[in-house]
Structures are given as C-alpha cells and as structure tokens.
Chains A and B, each alone.
Chain A
C-alpha cells in the first residue's frame, strides 16, 4: 500500500508536468487545427530562460520560494513572447495553405529552435541551480519532497487559473468562439489574429512553467530536452482528446501515472515505451480521445 501511494504521488507529479505542456498543444490545435511541433522546444526554452534568469539574479534573492517564483514568472513571460513570435513569423503567413504545409513548417520551426539553442546555449547539458534545496517529508511511510509539492501546487494553480480565464472572461469566451468558428467570431468584432496570438502566448507560458518545474527536480537541462517531453505531452493531448482542455489535463495525469507504475512495478526499461503503447491503443480504439468530441462536420 505504501509503495502504491508512493507511486501515485510520483505519477501525479510527473503527470501534472505533462498536463501543463499538453495544454499548449490542445489550445493551439483548438484555434488553428495545427499540431505545433515546436511546442516541446518552447518547454526547453522555458528551462533555459529560468537558467539564465537565475544567473542574473544570483545573490540578489536568497534562493528559496521567492526566487523560484520570480524565475517562474520571468520564464513564462519570455516564452509567451517566443510563442507569439513563432505564430507571427512562421504560422500566420501559411495559415491559409494546406494542413500539410503547416505541419512541415511546424517541424521546421522545431528543428530551427533546437539547432539555434545548440549554437547559443551549447550542446552540453547545463546544471540548473538548486534554488530550492530538496527536503524530504514522510507520511505513513510515503516519502515526498518539497519540490513535488511545489510542482503539484503550481500545476493545479495554473490549470485552475486557465480554466477560470477560459470559462469566465470575455477574452476566454472569445477564444472558445474562435475555436468553434473563426468566421462567425470575426462577425462579432473579435480580432481573430489577436486571439490566436494570445493562445500561443498562454500555451507557451504553461510549457515554460513545465520546463522550470521539471528543472527544479531534475537539474540537468540541454537543448534537446524538449523532444521526448514534447512527444509525450502530445500523446497526452491526443489521449485526452485533442482540442479539449480537461482532456489534456486528464491525458497528462494518466500518462504520468502509467509511466510511474510501469517503472515501479514492471521494468523502467519500458518507461518511455508506455507512452507510445498508449498512443497506439487510443488511435485504434478511440481516435477522438477520452474527452474529445467526434468530428462534427460544419454545415
């Protein structure tokens, strides 16, 4: 039982990271019907933004939560700008082209970011500063760290804020309107370009948060760290039903739990394979995903 609870906690912590990154895939897909393959690289840029921000801040804040919070916010803002830039420069010019063109552009942007990152940051792994020294707690035999708590709390907070924004605010509702029918949204006076831009900004900021939270736990960061996480978060988004926001969260959690339990009870060799196994099963059995809607043809 203790081992089970331990795995559950580890799985939720990993899963909430996948969920944060998966949200960006699903939000962009919602408004553009585009799989933004560069999204995993934005997650990587988030980690590097945090790395450089902490270097700049060094000594000015005495570590601990305030510094972690500042780094998180700086990195989220930086990546929001990067996300908007990617949309403006790469996707907007080809928005009316075929889906295949868009997909190829997305892969190109991903490769470009990875290679630029290797040039500017260097290809070697960097050591992310230990802003929050790890502290262990024990509760009935279950071990958890202050970092796991931070990951879970931040992820829950960000997801709750996103949900409130999308459900309650005028701009959030406009985002859903654009996802459903961009032309009708324009007739309401909604500037569809700004909404798409904002969607990229929000998705990228969440990916950056994921990058920072992971780096606090596993301090080695490198320019290709976004590849695997990006693919897994994408699987999480498809699993939950791409385009669905609760689906992305659910998919992320399921994937995180599946990975941890496979590693914990089976063999950690199959840890990464489980994501792809799940992907194949979904594509065969429920291609629209757990919470996805069957393709509704617009009349």
Chain B
C-alpha cells in the first residue's frame, strides 16, 4: 500500500534519513520506533508531503507521491496526525472536526462526526468548546478524530502518546486498535516502544536515519538487543 524506497532526506547539513526502505501492507498496523532525533517524524512528514526528500521514492497505491503537494496527498487518502497534535486552537472542537472533513460532503461529515464521537465520547461533551482549552490527551483525541474525518485509507500517527496522562494514552491506543479493525491501515511512530510493539503487527527500528531492523512486533519485543536499547531492560 505504502512503500518508501531508498529514501534520503537532508535539512541543510543534517542528514535526517539515509536510504530508508519501509513497506506498509493494507490492513496492517506498522510501527516505527527509535530514539529522539532518529528521523521518525521526518519519515512521516515526507509521506504527508510536508518535507520533500532529496532522493528515493514514496509510492502510495502504485503511484509516486514524492513531489506532490501536501493537500493533494491528503486528497489521495493519507491523513497525518502530527507530533504535538497541531489542532486549531482558535476553532471549536466541532470546527476542528469539520476541517478534517474539508474535502467531504455535508452528509459524509455528519456521519464522520458520529464515528469520531463513538470512538472518543469525550469529544462530544466538549463540542462547542474552543479546542485550545482541551487537555493534552483530549487534544490528541481531537487530532485523531479530525484525521479520521477525511476517511483516510492510510493513517499516519506521530508520537500519539507524547506528553499525555497514562489513562488517556490507554484510551488513545484502544482507539487506534478500533480504527484498524474497521480496515484503516496505520503507520505509527513512537518513542514508547513497549506501547508501540503491543499495538502493532510489524515494526521497524530507526537509528540515526537508517532502518536497522524490521520484524513482526511480537518477535521484536523478545529481541534482547531491542529490549536493552528500547525497552529499558537488560
């Protein structure tokens, strides 16, 4: 469904990604784990069209999306929940969700709202509230709900657990599992490897811009090197 091929990306003198290969198949939850600054966010931003890699290719459903503009990539069925959530703090919760469905019809938006509220009931309680007044966890729910309003076939999540109370992290990952069960393919980037490996089918490990390991998540969770480096054991 999605395939990164030989992808390399540089910001000025900093090499963020080197020769990255990554595949996501339809229906999967794939996670990309790695330390801070390993290039995880850059990989997701490249797919969403927010940064433009210098070489390699990104193919989505058979078509190269490497040089496409972000809003056109969104229209193709890819939604990114960015790091730090990037909700529109000056808009209400409802307006944020409506923006998620910017390219859809009124009826589709109405259905989408019901689905978002079913997934995260807290959002319904706060519907008229300005989104800037939500807690971090609620903002993350809103950001995910907003991305789903576009009915993406591929959902990209950048550090959905970052800076969020543990109880809400649970709710958010339960939500991600539920989204995947409805057939949406998910690529999630996480620093919290425990969490990511428990909620995914396959995993890639990124170190200083290179993919060093790729394996089924359950296998990787047992890998002594991964346990030592990313799960804080050994």
Binding stretch for chain B, among A57-65, A122-130, A171-179 = A171-179
Contact A181 B49 (CB under 8 A): no
Select one of B74, B84, B88 contacting A180, CB under 8 A: B88
Give min CB distance, A35 to chain B, whole Å: 20
Beyond A173-B91, A177-B91, A180-B90, whether A187 also contacts B80 by CB under 8 A is yes
Q: Is B98 within 8 A of A173, CB to CB?
A: yes
Q: Write out the residue numbers on chain A whose beta carbons fall within 8 Å of the beta carbon of B98.
A: 170, 173
Q: How many residues of chain B have a CB within 8 Å of chain A?
A: 27
Going nearest first, the 9 A-B pairs with the smallest beta carbon separation are A186-B70, A189-B74, A184-B86, A189-B103, A188-B102, A180-B88, A177-B88, A186-B71, A188-B99
Q: B109: nearest residue on chain A (CB-CB)?
A: A170
- Cα separation A189 to B100 with both chains bound (whole Å): 8
Nearest residue (CB) in A for B78 is: A187
B80 / chain A contacts, CB cutoff of 8 Å? 187
Decide if A183 is an interface residue (CB 8 Å cutoff). yes
> Which residues from chain A contact B91 at a C-beta distance below 8 Å?
173, 176-177, 180
Which residues of B are at the interface with A, using a C-beta cutoff of 8 A? Answer: 48-50, 69-71, 74-75, 79-80, 82, 84, 86-91, 95, 98-100, 102-103, 146-147, 150
B90 touches A179 (CB 8 A): yes
Residues in A whose Cβ lies below 8 Å from that of B146: 188
Q: Which residues of B contact A180 (CB under 8 A)?
A: 88-91
What residues of chain B lie closer than 8 Å to A185, measured between beta carbons?
Answer: 88, 99
Instruction: Decide if A188 touches B86 in the complex (CB within 8 Å).
Output: no
Q: Smallest Cβ distance from B230 to chain A, in angstroms?
A: 25
Selected from A183, A190, A296, the residue in CB contact (under 8 A) with B50 is A183
- Smallest CB–CB gap between A179 and chain B, Å? 7
Contact A188 B74 (CB under 8 A): yes
